[in-house]
Amino acid sequence: MTQEKKNASGHKFDPVRAAALEAIIYVEQGEQTEEAIKNAIRRRSFRPIDIRFLQQLVNGTIKMRQHLDHEIRFYLARPSIELSPRLSNILRLGFYQLVFTDRVPAAAAVSESVNLARHFAEESQARLVNAVMRARLREPHKVVFPDKHEDPAKYLSIYHSYPDYFVQYCLSEFGFERTEQLLINYNRAPRVTYRINNLKAKPDEVTNILQKNNVEFSFGKYLPEFIHIEMSGLPLEAELIRTGKVFVQDESAGLPVRLLNPKPGSGVVDLTAAPGGKSTYAAARMRNKGRITAVDKSHARLKTVVENAHRLGIKIIAPVACDMAEFKGGPFDRVLLDPPCSGWGTAGKLADLRWSKTPQDIDNLMKIQSKMIDRAARLLKPGGVLVYSTCTIIRRENDQIVEEFLLRNNNFEIESAAQFFDSSLVNERGFVKTYPDFDNLDGSFCARLRRKLNP
């Protein structure tokens, strides 16, 4: 850990935990977790090991917030009392260390939480933190959760820390046992995946570098150029990522590009393209021959696409800053649409998502998705292919959008993904679906649609 500092009153506190608390508060104020962490450490000089610990604390505390709040109430003298946001988060951070980490000694979790309370609050609140956390150490079995047989939804929601509506959806879709396994997987520390950039490095070169530096890895089951890293952080970032030999991307995010199957020399448009993961993968598969039009309404995000393309040695991506509803290009051989979605496939990586998305958001997104797929279809040549993809597992944003599109457009037909992937990945309608409890991929969906030559 970093060396403790003293505040104006002379009280010691751990700057890493203080920064973690600051990041958690930023998230509560509406920032995304990754951005909140960047803001919290911007003015501080932390070692890589400190940053990894901070990330664990922030992501874990935010993910498990509902579980932690449930436990904390059992140790308050007045459980109904409303705690200040700062005090609540100090207790959540402390309880997370007690309950969910195995490398933080209990005494350290208590003392450092008390120090944070002294630094950020009042002495009386520091005494409360001390009393509550020591009570948790003395009487760990005092906490009672809802009975999983009497109220399975409430049990899953509180114990595994998810909003009620998402748990109810999963139960109706998957049943109890698979839902619980799905929720458990989302709560595990996410793994990092590198995509080998064949334009700058051969697979043997990358794997030799990893092996020489004792980095454990495994190859993607469906896309062999994807390598799953079996350790935390971004190992060999300078040697592999900054040089463009690899790109950080989940294997599930590569599946839509493989399904699109763009050919060298073809014309492709990637709508809502930023930050460029799918565009750059398509360019690599096209061997840098042809043209990929990368459309995004954000100039700043398009700049990231250009920077990523430059680092990866890609020369065929043409950025277009434009709302896709106003885009006039085409027609194209291939169209890739990855519309805004609820993101429920990435809840393992985006800790704040489970508390920031609502059922109303999904209703609103469905309207946007329907308009976008209609617009995307008009950009396609007869005989061309449209791939619709999302990073959510919500059926209404996936199957329903595609099926309703087909009802409106009889000049399109589904082409089964079974010609590209193992049958275990493809459902009876020919759609690709992935889940965190299946091969440890992010949750995702993609469908391949062809515009008929003679409707």
Q: Which residues are catalytic?
A: 391
Beta-carbon count within 10 A of 326 CB = 9
What lies within 8 Å, CB to CB, of 437 at 6+ separation is 178, 181, 182, 184, 185
Q: End-to-end alpha-carbon separation of the chain, Å?
A: 66
Over the Cα atoms of the chain, what is R_g? 24
Question: Could you tell me the CA-to-CA distances from 297 to 114, 252, 282 in Å, in that order?
Answer: 47, 24, 20
Give Dmax over CA atoms of the chain in angstroms.
80
Spatial CA neighbour of 210 closest among 193, 189, 186: 193
Backbone angles phi, psi at 80, to 5 degrees: -85, -5
Spatial CA neighbour of 442 closest among 185, 204, 218: 185
What is the rounded CA–CA span in Å between residue 255 and residue 119?
48
Do 66 and 58 form a contact (C-beta atoms < 8 A)?
A: no
